[in-house]
Chains A and B, each alone.
Chain A
Amino acid sequence: MTSVWLNIDEDGLVPALHDAAGKLDGAEGEVVLDFSSVRRIDSNAVRAMEELAQKGDEKAVKIVLRGVNVDVYKVLKLVKLAPRFSFAS
């Protein structure tokens, strides 16, 4: 099993998420996205995460979000995306 670790930066959040989606092709097992430096997400990021979750489902790759703050976590809960990711602190 190969794990991929990606640091996600708030400033380039959407491209980083697209990049992460691209990495799912070569990944096995799980991809870990480090959200420690993400303070908040906007509507575009929500859409990008939706696409990422969709791709993860298709590729059967587990996507782990690490260090998600509670404000971002609440957004993911409200848009019903939280169950589609795994969370790690």
Chain B
Amino acid sequence: MIASEAVQERVQIPLATESLSAERIAYLEGLVNQASVAAAVFTQFTQEDVDRIVKPMVLAGLEKAQHLARLAVEETKLGVMEDKVIKNMVATEFAYNYVKDKRTVGVIREFPERNLVELAEPIGVIFSLIPITNPTSTVLFKCIMAIKTRNAVIFSPHPKAGGCGFEAVKIMYETALKHGAPQGVFTCLESHNLQDNAYLMRHKDVALIDATGGPSAVKAAYSSGKPALGVGPGNTPVYLEKTADLKTAVVDIIISKTFDNGTICASEQTVVIDDEIYDQALKTFADLGAHICNENETGLLGRTVIDPQSGCMQPLAVGQKATDIARFIGLSVKPNTKLLIAPIQGVGREHPLSVEKLFPVLAVYRAKSVDEALKVCVDVNHAGGLGHTAVIFSRNDEIIQKFGEVINAGRIIVNSPGSIGALGAVYNDLVPTFAFGCGTGGGNSTTDNVNIYHYLNIKRLARRTQNHMWFRVPNQIYFNMNAVENVRQFPSASTVIITNPALERVGHVDVVRRCISPQTHVHVSVIPDAEPEVKVVMQGVEALNFYKADQIIALGGGSVIDAAKIMKLKYESPDADLEELAAPFLDLRKRVVQYPTEKVNRARLIAISTTSGTGSEVTPFAVLTDTERGRKVTLADYSLSPDVAIVDPQFVMSMPKGLTADTGIDCLTHALEAGVSNYASPYTDSNAMQAIRLVFKYLPIAYENPRNEEARCMMHNAACIAAMAFSNASVGVNHALAHAFGARFHVAHGRANALMLPHVIAYNAAVPTKFMPSPYTQGYVAHKKYATIADLLGLGGQTVEEKVKKLIAATEQLLDRLEFPRSIAELGISKEEFERAVPELVKIAFDDPSWRSNPRMPLMNELVELFWKAYQGRGSGKAPSAAQQTALEWVVRVWQ
């Protein structure tokens, strides 16, 4: 708390300890041993035990407040006895009022909504430096904090305050001991020795250094290699702004600056006064007992109370009365002068009185504007007071706020005295303290008013939290034959149908048109039958704007419906940045980029699917191709989900066999991956299982007998149901592999999925090399879920392993029945070409977000193996060749 380097030279703490005698070392070891045992024994105490000790200590401190104050003034020759009594009372009574109901043992705070509990762990042995300016109050305060937190303290009072400091420790210790505290909980160095401090600071059994002192003490503490609570020097700027209540402000400043003769380092140092009230302010100061120095007197003060060499205050002036300082330097003042006020014209070495002065000498500065006043306050703040304390008197909230923003101080005291204000709990609700953290500006680790929580290790007991999950799908889904007629119920003045040329050609668009009210203006926008491009989407948006659409009907497969989702997004929120919205994310709830909620236009999106695979009519996903940049952009947000889904099998009755197989296996892959996903829930499971059952039963029929209405209907439903599952549980590594492979070799998505599927089931069912972190699942369950699916399909088997094998076999039989190639090789891709492609395929697959919810975290070498298994085909069981191994090594090298 002492700021001046000149004062500090008395507490310089060298870290060298070589000069300590063996006897002295034995003495110090004894202190540490005693404290260590006390700290250990203290860990057994309960909150009630501790609180039983604290209260009598507080009462003892209050009872001895005057006695200790008298001792302190007599020994240090600093300050005002009456004020030191107040300090001792604040250090006990106010500290107690703050700590009395606080829990500091066991569970200290609970956050049930976060499943978090905080528990207290004592620090152990604390080595505490006590300053000359507050030698007894600081001891009283720290003793109360230490007992409340079950710590032992070895005190080292300032050499010139050793007697009163020792007495304060003795009073606290005897009271604590009487009420059950462990023996040796407080000890005090009997005579001060700088080497003692250095030795104790570096002692292995000292857990924390609490250095309430000046820069040298703090620096020594931080240099010791031990955790340290160091506080720092101050140089408190005060802005007396023109709207302030002047009379109150002046009295407050006098109270603060003269309190204990200005020895509190938070006390006011330079008052910057607005020009408009400057003269009146000085007159008020003078009326209340301040002596306003003229230019010569200010010069004299600056040359005498400030050391011209160091630029810091003279130790002899610290804590002295204004009249004594005046007499000492030969200044004539009235006998009752409380304060010497020295007008200065700037801040810095050429203005000696702009530094910290721990005595009743106050610099004042006349500011011509708010801007100038703030700048001078910043100058004072940076002239030795960073991180400490600042004061403003004002009724202008904007200026108060600005002052708070530009001044770097742990405590910014508003319309109240700086020193007593900073101590806390008297003029404000700051935590009461006798140690002001000054943050990094003051070389400290905290800006807090140091308190009990700095004397604790706080442990956090974090229980497993299961985030809320969801099941979100369009709120209206119409299914079965002729479900499209439900379009009729939705009123619309202007409807735009998005579709592709083939569907228009076969008459599907006409079917839909017939279901729209004759009063509705209907417009058809035909887009290419391919993954939507940015250009196509923007043309669609233009059409929506032109026709002022209030309803969009997407009639088509995944590409058309995806295009319509993005058109709707851009139509409703023209400023939506598709590039930004496609930013990757791990958890939907924590994603960085949020989808727009403000909408310029509003349109209902009705999705009518014409394939039985993607389920885009209910999913929150849309894929966009950016041809200009040569890449695909995947958008994912529930706001993209269509408002209404129509699952009408009449639109799939004419699907070609190949498309039936491809889309059907895509649907099966969705359901299987959602079923074992780390995000699976009972809600998604029910959908996934039902979809799997429907696919195994009806896909072969729909494939072999395309006109079978029941099979078409059930497969169409299965695709939608599977999509509901993966919209909420996501997919897995199968999709990551298929995306990479399909894009590279232009293989249809469903077909690419089929090539991977049996291998991925086997892979996920095995014990993972690396588990995926998943708060939603309990243990590894993928193999068991596959077994459940096998049971559902009635495949037989006794053990989980047998059931998984039967599921794989059933899947392979299904793929064979659908006439899928058994291997990538069967597609006519040469081994050499595939070998060349594998490293890039692995890289792309690993980048694919699809596998993030896979139950097993795919390692790079495992992706290589999976690709090669798919190449070699079902049932090959071959290990990777040397060439394949080379590819693997290449991948690993590139990624390292």
A residues contacting B by CB (< 8 A) are: 40-44, 46-47, 71-72, 74-75, 78-79
Contacts and interface: CB of A to CB of B under 8 A. Distances in A.
23 contacts: A40-B41, A40-B44, A41-B41, A41-B44, A42-B183, A43-B34, A43-B38, A43-B182, A43-B183, A43-B184, A44-B183, A46-B37, A46-B40, A74-B40, A74-B44, A75-B41, A75-B43, A78-B36, A78-B39, A78-B40, A78-B43, A79-B37, A79-B40
Nearest to B33: A79
Contacts of A78: 36, 39-40, 43, 124
A42 B185 CA distance: 12
A40 B307 CA distance: 57
Contacts of B38: 43
Given A43-B37, A43-B38, A75 B182 contact: no
B811 to A, nearest CB: 54
A72 B44 CA distance: 7
B43 A42 contact: no
Contacts of B43: 71, 74-75, 78
Contacts of B36: 78-79
Nearest to B182: A43
Given A42-B182, A47-B37, A71-B44, 14 more contacts: A41-B41, A43-B37, A43-B182, A43-B183, A43-B184, A44-B183, A46-B37, A72-B44, A74-B40, A74-B43, A75-B43, A78-B124, A79-B36, A79-B37
A75 B39 CA distance: 9
Interface in B339-378: none
A75 B183 contact: no
B156 to A, nearest CB: 22
- Among A46, A71, A75, A78, max chain B CB count under 10 A is at A78
A22 B184 CA distance: 27
Contacts of A44: 183
A11 to B, nearest CB: 15
Contacts of A72: 44
B203 to A, nearest CB: 14
A43 B34 CA distance: 8
B23 to A, nearest CB: 21
A81 to B, nearest CB: 9
Give the 10 A-B residue pairs with the shortest CB-CB distance, closest first: A78-B40, A43-B183, A40-B44, A75-B40, A79-B40, A71-B44, A46-B37, A43-B37, A43-B182, A43-B41
B8 to A, nearest CB: 35
Contacts of B39: 78
A46 B41 contact: yes
Contacts of B37: 43, 46-47, 79
B31 to A, nearest CB: 14
A78 B37 CA distance: 8
Contacts of A79: 36-37, 40
Interface in B663-702: none
Contacts of A42: 41, 182-183
A49 to B, nearest CB: 10
Nearest to B122: A78
B366 to A, nearest CB: 60
A24 B36 CA distance: 27
Contacts of A47: 37
Nearest to B36: A79
Contacts of A71: 43-44
A43 B182 CA distance: 6
- Among B36, B39, B41, B184, max chain A CB count under 10 A is at B41
A41 to B, nearest CB: 7
Contacts of A41: 41, 44
Contacts of B34: 43
- Among B39, B40, B124, max chain A CB count under 10 A is at B40
A22 to B, nearest CB: 23
Nearest to B40: A78
Contacts of A40: 41, 44
Interface in B79-138: 124
Interface in B178-214: 182-184
B307 to A, nearest CB: 47
B409 to A, nearest CB: 39
A69 to B, nearest CB: 9
Contacts of A43: 34, 37-38, 41, 182-184
Interface string B39-64: 11101100000000000000000000
B281 to A, nearest CB: 58
B202 to A, nearest CB: 18
Nearest to A75: B40
Nearest to B34: A43
B29 to A, nearest CB: 14
B633 to A, nearest CB: 57
Nearest to A47: B37
A74 B37 CA distance: 12
A78 B36 CA distance: 8
A46 B184 CA distance: 12
B688 to A, nearest CB: 47
A71 B45 CA distance: 9
Nearest to A76: B40
- Among B44, B124, B183, B184, max chain A CB count under 10 A is at B44
A47 B36 CA distance: 12
A63 B865 CA distance: 59
A79 to B, nearest CB: 5
A84 to B, nearest CB: 14
A78 B40 CA distance: 6
Contacts of B184: 43
A29 B40 CA distance: 30
A70 B36 CA distance: 18
Contacts of B182: 42-43
Nearest to A43: B183
Contacts of B183: 42-44
A75 to B, nearest CB: 5
- Among B38, B124, B184, max chain A CB count under 10 A is at B38
A49 B40 CA distance: 14
A68 B184 CA distance: 24
Nearest to A69: B44
A47 B183 CA distance: 11
A75 B40 CA distance: 5
A41 B37 CA distance: 11
B50 to A, nearest CB: 13
A78 B182 CA distance: 15
A83 B644 CA distance: 71
B512 to A, nearest CB: 73
B494 to A, nearest CB: 75
A72 B38 CA distance: 13
B115 to A, nearest CB: 24
Nearest to A42: B41
Contacts of B44: 40-41, 71-72, 74-75
